[in-house]
Structure 1
Amino acid sequence: MLRLGIVGLGRWGRNHVRVAKELEWEGVVKLVAVCDIDEPRAKEVASKYAVPSYYASVEEMLRKEDLDAVTIAVPIDELSRVASTACEYNVNFLVEKPVAMSSRVAKELRNRAAAKGLVAMPGFIMRFNPAIEALRKILDKEQPTYAVFKRLSRRPAHARRYSILLDLTIHDIDLARYLFGEVGRVRWCELRPVDEDLVVLLLLEVGNMLVLVHTDGVSIAKVRETDVITRSSFIRVNTDDLEIFVRKADVLESLSVRGEEPLKKELKSFLLKVRGVDVETPTLDDAVRALEIIEIAEKVNRVD
């Protein structure tokens, strides 16, 4: 059985632990160690989830444990460093988005992992959302003309330390590429300060269609919607409620989507990849490209 370690035990890292334990109960993987710079936190999580070992140092964990893979859910500005350390110890890794603070660093990480033959997967979890999977099947029979992604919610204070583009917008940049093809051009971008955060409007050219990405960190209501307008229908996808509305002429169809928890499916896909199974997953090439698009957006940002 594959031996897994988890690095970073904040809110999202604890979800990694929970899901890994579920997969352990299913006989998919053995979670043998957790790591967090806050050692009492690492000890508490290890005790709660019956994980054999805990560490405050990722280097110590990688040195002492015979790991096949790690998942990395540390703060944004530490992701690439921890992933590079996993590379040094020849350990396959799933690293949360955005992977790195720049496309240059992400490229270096990609090249190092490839040179060592490691499975290196970015955590673009939205690809594993059941509603997005259902939308992709619908689009196989449609001709999209344009799309709008909306990702709105008030960000907590600790998240505002980081670029909203790296924190939130990157999800929908990746989805635009995943659903519609490569982004050919950043047509327009505006980052406007509102209260203590930003509102982002980003217009992308994808093939012959336009994609508008609307992100904010200030909305009191949480919105996670994708609208796709095709030649014959209007499609609205709610990735939180797992609902899809399709209007064709005067007919409105409502679909409730069922599926596996996205994080669980993501981790399972990563572990299959580590086993050598040919499954579709995002790659560090996808992370590099998303970061390149963000860097272009920052350059063309229109400020009044």
Structure 2
Amino acid sequence: MPQPARIPVSVGLPLALASGVAIPAQSRINGALGVALDDSLAAALVSFGTGLAVMILVTAVFPRGRAGFGQILPALRERRFPRIYILAGVIGAWFVLTQTLTIAVLGVAVFTVATVAGQTLTGLVVDRMGIGPGGKKTLTIMRVVGAVLTIAAVAWAVSPKLSGSGGGADWLLTVLLPLSAGMAMSFQQAMNGTTGMHYGTPITATLMNFVSGFTALLVVWLVKVAVSGFGNPLPDTWWYYLGGVMGCVFIGVSAMLVKTLGVLLTSLGLIGGQLVGSLLLDLFLPAPGSVVVAATVLGTALTLVAIVVATLPWNMPGFRPWARRRNG
């Protein structure tokens, strides 16, 4: 079988950056939809519904999607992975729900910093536990340093809001929502990597994410409707319905680039796109009540530096501070 053409770094990294921007764009779209509907649950449900529709279409059109779909029941019957892994989409549902709940208050930049921080922190635990298909990974000094730097970056980025007059405690609680979503996403990625490996394609893992996430949100939304009724009717603004599509783009492009660029370059490009995109949105298309000050910009930059540090090996060439030099 011929090998797929490799994507040069000069093309792949800009593509990773561009696809990374899809996440803060999704955050802004879902946040705006939540405000328009006056119903955060309904906005998250719409986002997952559009994403599910896209993945059903992709599964039906592409042969690998159809083949992977045929592996779902055999994989569950044969217990190729813990069955709870098919509920990974519930984590994605929580992530989207936190978008609709907090974007209007936090702004996209702080939301992104908080979620990236959560991913970095629990990424250490997930790698150490060996939940993903790559097995256990060593807990290096560099990764610990990167996690500590990330905590400092988040505190710095949100400090202007926390130190403002009034609402400090409310702000802290609000920041904890995307932080918790980011922490859960590391487990979701490990679960998706494992299920995708056994399905034979990430298309099916993505499809099942949208199925379980949509189902969970639908159940909760129906309970909410029974208690407090419906929110506003669906708005006519067409771009409010692109949130789920953005999620599909992010997952699909990252899966494609990992094969040729490797995990390190792809991850840095995607995360860089999220951080840069979130700042650009808050600078040029700010949400009501959001603010970008020096601490937000520098805290975001420090988060990116921390992520780079966390990916560096402790024993990289020339970095052995304790090793004695021989012969002088």
Same fold (TM over 0.5): no
Higher helix share: 2
More strand by share: 1
TM-score norm. by structure 1 comes to: 0.25
